[in-house]
A and B are shown apart, each in its own frame.
Chain A
Amino acid sequence: MNTPVLHLEGVSRIHGSGELAVHALREVSFEAYAGELVAVMGPSGSGKSTLLTLAGGLDEPTSGRVVVEGTDLTAAGAGGRARLRRTAIGYVFQDFNLIPALTAAENVSLPLELDGAPSRAARAAAATALDELGIGDLADRFPDEMSGGQQQRVAIARAIVGQRRLILADEPTGALDSVTGEDILRLLRARCDAGAAGVLVTHEPRHAAWADRVVYLRDGVVLDDEDAGETVGARR
């Protein structure tokens, strides 16, 4: 518990340059520890999705460091970041999370297969992950043949397959009804209780409340409970 699974240190991200520069994140520091689910809230444009793409190494910070499981993502290079996504980071998106041409089991085993795991081992790991999420019977279905909630479960299974400890969820319940959405959050919560570190981006307070901690983002800046006034004041 002493080293965070995910650690953002003074991370800034500026899109574009000059007049058109958009400060998506300013000097954000953030940690997520194993066994912890952290919710990131904020209105659209507050930088919460940018935070997630930086954490997953799909984007690079303009300044600052992003460290996943002790590896500096910037230093790791594109190849290293791809490797980390295969072995350490799992993504769950809002919808269309699954590759339509692959079955549930193939979607789940994808990171392992991309990593060069033997087909049989990858299948076995996928079956285990699907069983853990209670959808072992959906293994051979294609995404078209599953409900939204089932698809999200498969996506979570893919995010955790192969002992990965960082789950990055971007509005994972956005396309679901409230009951199914809640099921998904329970699952995420359970995965974190089982030892994963979760970062959940959402704009629904109800869902954010499943987290251990809630981080508020405003204009690329983190509002903490303690120094909220200061930050807001400073901005004025």
Chain B
Amino acid sequence: MEYFLELFLGGLTRGSIYALIALGYTMVYGIIELINFAHGEIYMIGAFTALIFASVFTLLGFNDLSILLLASLAAVTWASAYGYTIEKLAYKPLRKAPRLSALISAIGMSIFLQNYVLLAQTSDFLPFPRLIPHFSFMDPIVHVIGSAELVILITTAVVMIALTLLIKFTKLGKAMRATAQDRDMALLSGVNINKVISFTFIIGSFTAAVGGVLIASHIGMINFYIGFIAGIKAFTAAVLGGIGSVPGAVLGGMVLGWTESFATGYVSSDYEDVFAFSLLVLILIFRPEGILGRSTTQKV
């Protein structure tokens, strides 16, 4: 039973990270129906920015807590700036083009950003400072769940709730929902579409950067390639939960995290990804719109 609990919590932690990245995919998709392949790279750039600023502040002799706060602040600032710029450069000119063109543009952007960081920084793995402090009150249960895991779970929950409130109750949230439902109609009702889309990218990049900082300080190392695999998994999570749906992305992330964790724990880690993708195929066969996705009736 303890083993089950350990795997459950491990899956939950991993799932939280997937969920944080999946939010960006799902919101962007909800608004402009684009698979933003470069989103995983935003997560990577967020983690790199945090590493760079953390190192600089360490050398300047700041204390641990202020390093954590300043580095995280820098990470979300720059990640959001990258998200905003990418949309303006690579996707905005393509809004009226065939959907596949925007997808290729996204793939190109993803390859570009990976190599940009590779060339401007390094291809080696870099040690990431352990920004999350160790809580001594966690000691008795450290073999089940560590401090870093706890911080990840709490942060994810907070981000999730804040985002739901934002979408449900603010004017901007209303505009986002309107744009997602019918872009032309929203435009006619006086919604500034460009602003809404930019904002969606900024929020998505923000959550991805939060995920990037958390996981990097948890596992303690990063390189330019971490965004790719995390991005594909998070995208899977978003589709699993029903792309376009915020609670769906969270649920999808968790389901994917648990699947991988239990597959490793009870079967074999050789096939953890096979289990993850097979689950995806199975769910989509029986619920083609994902677990929480709305089924859309196609109009002619």
Same complex origin of A and B = no
